A and B are shown apart, each in its own frame.
Chain A
Amino acid sequence: EPEVTQTPSHQVTQMGQEVILRCVPISNHLYFYWYRQILGQKVEFLVSFYNNEISEKSEIFDDQFSVERPDGSNFTLKIRSTKLEDSAMYFCASSPPGTFTYEQYFGPGTRLTVT
Chain B
Amino acid sequence: KQEVTQIPAALSVPEGENLVLNCSFTDSAIYNLQWFRQDPGKGLTSLLLIQSSQREQTSGRLNASLDKSSGRSTLYIAASQPGDSATYLCAVRRVTGGGNKLTFGTGTQLKVEL
Contact = CB atoms under 8 A, between A and B. Distances in A.
Contacts, number: 65
Contacts of A107: 43
A101 B31 CA distance: 8
A29 to B, nearest CB: 12
Query: What secondary structure prevails in chain A residues at the interface with B?
Result: strand
Given A42-B104, A55-B99, A106 B45 contact: yes
Given A91-B44, A106-B43, A106-B46, A101 B51 contact: yes
Contacts of B42: 108-109
Interface stretch (B18-26, B60-68, B73-81, B90-98): B90-98
Contacts of A93: 44
Interface of A: 4, 31, 33, 35, 42-45, 47-48, 50, 55-58, 91, 93, 95, 100-109, 111
